[in-house]
Amino acid sequence: MTVLNRIALTLVIIGAINWGLIGFFRFDLISAIFGGETAFISRVIYGLVGISGLACIALLFVPLEDEDEEYDTNREFRRNPDLSTEFGEEADFTDVKKDKKKKKKD
């Protein structure tokens, strides 16, 4: 989820809480905090919540990550047959041994 989607989702949640307060208690939290429904900042917040709601429509069509992954418990299918051991190919230290022998001679 991108940062823009998270901001939009946060604003939608704020709007949903505000609408819940209006529906159950006839209390508009945004207008109470910012000076009424007609105050400029309240109208900006209402507009941002509305735009965020439109942006969150796209989240409905994003597939869930868990649905895309298939979990395979059989280890044989996950193992890479090109590797010589379970942990990967063994490192080649022949150059390191040659360098140590040169240093000892010097």
Domain ranges of the chain: 3-63, 75-105
pLDDT at 11 over 70: yes
DSSP letter at 88 equals: -
Spatial separation of the C-alpha atoms in residues 96 and 3, rounded to whole Å = 47
Which of 58, 70, 49 shows the shortest CA–CA distance to 1?
A: 58
% of the chain with per-residue pLDDT over 70: 61
As given in the structure block, the two tokens for residue 16 are 């949903």
Spatial separation of the C-alpha atoms in residues 13 and 16, rounded to whole Å = 5
Interval 28-46 mean pLDDT: 92
pLDDT digits (tens, 9 = 90+) for 42-90: 999 999 999 999 999 988 888 877 654 565 555 555 555 555 555 556 6
DSSP letter at 85 equals: S
